[in-house]
Amino acid sequence: MNLKKLSALLLCSLMLLSSALAEGLTPLPMDDLSYGPVPKDECYLSDNEYVDESISVKIYEGRYADTDYVYAHVKISHPSQLRTIPAGVYKGVKNGSVQRNKNYNFKNSSTTRGRFVASAANAVIAINGDYFTKTECKVVLRMGTQYRNTADGLRDLLIIDKNGDLSYLNAPTKADYAAYYEANKDSMYQVFCFGPVLVENGVSVLPMDYENGYIGAQKAAQRTAFCQLGPLEYMLVTSYGNQTKGNKGMTIPEFAKVCELAGKELNPESGCRLAFNLDGGNSTTMNFKRLDTESRKLKYVKVNCPEIERFLSDIIYFATLVK
């Protein structure tokens, strides 16, 4: 590594995130599907860490219930850095550059690999969303715009407000959700459908015999969770499944325990404020840039179960504010 590169890495590693937005950084729009600046290569400190003035990400690995899992600790400076985007943004690659479609939204049914969507969104890190194109996904609200409400009282909803804070609705009916939306629409930023809530106030809320046929709670499978540790501080968790050698896969209660334990590792005082289960199985995806050994360039990769890569309809991602 040359001296210039080393100096840049050391500089990035010394940058501190503060509760106030750093001078010269502008929040991203919170009412459209635009994307953030390109993450700077020199701020990738390793295959598992990124740090700049506006965001820090560090990825860890663990094992529980005979199954590997990967979890990421994310801190941001402004809630606009927590974003979502549909797969329709990705058009392809031309002359080495990512091409984006001009018209994309949460009404179309396009799907593609998560790492391609992450590249089009300039994500620092991304996970799969709730596969909004499936009929099981009853409520879709993204970047402040509501696209669907067919809530049927069978699945929990994750609510993310414009402060970046997480809350939830327990299996609301269409009328329940409509009433909540009417009372809170000005503060609502994102809504994701699936569930259940895994952890609340630092402790798993699910007994080991928890049953829910709509999400295959007792099936040993890959799992994805979106979690909040504190103000503008999050944890992303993905587990392996039984398709990968040496892994049993996790039931929902086992995965809830993983989120509880990982939350306490990253935030010993209080653990996870809230951990919410998202679409799992082969949709389970965490994307991050890592150094490609052949090209010696940073490329988006699927960190968990890289040999299994389902096409996705959407991602949840974190963006930098540094241009």
* Span 230-276, pLDDT tens digits: 999 999 999 999 999 999 999 999 999 999 999 999 999 999 999 99
pLDDT band at 23 (very low <50, low <70, confident <90, very high): confident
* Domain ranges (residues) in the chain: 30-318
The model's pLDDT over 129-176, given as tens digits with 9 standing for 90+, comes to 999 998 889 999 999 999 999 999 999 999 999 999 999 999 999 999
Sheet holding 233-239, edge to edge: 44-46, 49-51, 55-64, 67-76, 233-239, 224-230, 274-278, 197-200, 203-204
Gap between the Cα atoms of 257 and 64, Å rounded = 9
- The three-state (H, E, C) secondary structure of 30-93, written as one string: CCCCCCCCCCCHHHEEECCEEECCCEEEEEEEEEECCEEEEEEEEEECCHHHEEEEEHHHEEEE
Give pLDDT, residue 24.
82
Q: What is the mean pLDDT of the chain?
A: 93
Give pLDDT, residue 232.
98
Q: Compute the average pLDDT of residues 87-107.
A: 95
- Check pLDDT > 90 for residue 214: no
Give pLDDT, residue 135.
81
Q: Compute the average pLDDT of residues 163-190.
A: 97
Gap between the Cα atoms of 197 and 186, Å rounded = 24
Q: Compute the average pLDDT of residues 33-48.
A: 97
The model's pLDDT over 71-91, given as tens digits with 9 standing for 90+, comes to 999 999 999 999 999 999 999
Q: Cis bond leading into 196, ω under 30°? A: yes
Q: Are 199 and 227 in contact, with CB atoms under 8 Å apart?
A: yes
- Check pLDDT > 50 for residue 19: no
Q: Are 177 and 139 in contact, with CB atoms under 8 Å apart?
A: yes
pLDDT band at 17 (very low <50, low <70, confident <90, very high): very low
Q: Are 311 and 113 in contact, with CB atoms under 8 Å apart?
A: yes
The answer to pTM > 0.75 is yes
One-letter amino acid for residue 121 of the chain: A
User: Percentage of the chain surpassing pLDDT 70?
Assistant: 94
The model's pLDDT over 265-319, given as tens digits with 9 standing for 90+, comes to 999 999 999 999 999 999 999 999 999 999 999 999 999 999 999 999 999 999 9
For the stretch 18-32, what's the b/e string if a residue is b when 16 or more beta carbons lie within 10 angstroms of its beta carbon? eeeebeebeebebee
Gap between the Cα atoms of 161 and 143, Å rounded = 10
Greater confidence (31 vs 5) lies with: 31
